[in-house]
Amino acid sequence: MDAPSRSSGLPRLPRLIAALALFTALFLGTSGVRAESHLLVATYDGVINPVAAEYIHDALASAEAGNAQALIVRLNTPGGLDSSMRLIIQDITGSAIPVIVYVSPSSGRAASAGVFITMAGHVAAMAPGTNIGAAHPVALGGGEPDKTMKEKMENDAAAYLKSIAEQRGRNVAWADDAVRKSLSVTEGEALKLKVVDLVADNIPALLKQLDGRTVALQKGPTVLHTANAAVRDFPMGLRLEFLKTLSDPNIAYLLMTIGTIGLIAELYNPGAILPGVVGAISLILAFYSFQSLPIDYAGVLLFLLGIVFFILEASITSYGLLGIGGAVSMLLGSVMLIKTDVEFLQISWSVILPVVALTAAFSLFMVGMGVRAMRRRPMTGREEMVGLVGVATTALAPRGLFAVHGELWEAVSEQPLQAGTEAEVTRVEGLRLHVKPCSQQQEA
């Protein structure tokens, strides 16, 4: 009886050991996750545009793939495009992890589209010395929209921001006033009005305030454990940094100028190659920039017309009228180029004036050189012989020998010439020169 009882108890020991091993592995694994728990920080400073939407989308995807507790978006923006703003908000709303929008650094702001993005965050925070507001929609097409269109834009923007505020439990009345009355408040006022949830001096202070906070997600509430969490930055990368730079209206304007001048220089100096290559690349980059900007093509045409006037000034005597017309046309085109009343999308006068002056000087110089080169008499080959003066070494009646440029040629004269008579070369046929007496040219 003893042997069977011992054999029946043996299988329990391996099971117990396996259960303990599994429990230990799970405990250590959970401890490892907590020890390695981190938050990802994406910093965006600038206009809300397709680059901003792509960057925040990539940051959120990276945070979710890397099992980050949350994504912190450090935001400083004057506003931007409605389409890009809505893409960002869609990503935040559908996120599987909390998104904390932190208006930073001090003196930063979340204006216009930035208000919508900040209030869409699961947690909205601001740094001291920042402000939020002025969410009134602005037409990027330039000019003041009619009353009906203005009401439609206001109602749409107000309803959208109110729905975001209601979803996040924030001040719905202020959201409506931020759109309709362009209200703007400081971080302290925003906290009192329940526009944002927190005010923190920096990221470490923000993490302390977030620790233990419950955040509502689509999958259910989640609790943040951020006190000892690591913070990792999500860099924008060279590609997006480059595209962000191209989206600047001043950069787009410079690229269009460089591209136009480069192509013109290549046309008037064929074979230079470098101006043509630089010009073509610059124009393509300028066209990329223009696709995210409200371009008025009347401005583009006036700008190009101004450069054409500068070219004509270098080749036609207009006593400065074409040059003045070119400067005026370029100035008008530059002002009209970006069709919007939004300040941060307009081209700066500190860029326009130097560009117009330098373009005028460069165009006149380059085209002038090309025109002078085309008008210069040939210095080599048969064409170089035409116009030279030589001496008949034998009588030309009408054929004989003719010395010119230290060489002896067979020549044909239009009029009989005596040996020793000077004559001018009128044309070259093969190895034969056609000449005429110099006296005839003087009389003519």
Is-catalytic flag, 152? Answer: yes
CB count within 10 Å of CB 425 equals 22
Angstrom distances, CA of residue 439 to CA of 127, 220, 313, 400, 443: 92, 106, 38, 19, 6
Is-catalytic flag, 112? Answer: yes
Q: What is the DSSP string of 7-63?
A: HHHTTHHHHHHHHHHHHHHHHHHHHHHHHT-EEEEEEEES-BSHHHHHHHHHHHHHH
User: What span, in angstroms and rounded, lies between the C-alpha atoms of 117 and 115?
Assistant: 6
Query: C-alpha dihedral over 312, 313, 317, 319, to 10 degrees?
Result: 140
**Helices 297-315 and 349-375, interaxial angle, to 10°?**
40
Residue in 136, 137, 130, 157 with CA at minimum distance from that of residue 74: 130
Which one of the listed residues 31, 83, 106, 152 is annotated catalytic? Answer: 152
User: What span, in angstroms and rounded, lies between the C-alpha atoms of 386 and 429?
Assistant: 11
Which one of the listed residues 95, 112, 292, 334 is annotated catalytic? Answer: 112
CB count within 10 Å of CB 227 equals 10
215's enclosing H/E stretch is strand 214-217
Residue in 245, 340, 334 with CA at minimum distance from that of residue 294: 340
What are residue 312's phi and psi, to 5 degrees?
-65, -35
Contact 323, 361 (CB under 8 A): no
Give catalytic residues, as residue numbers. Answer: 112, 152
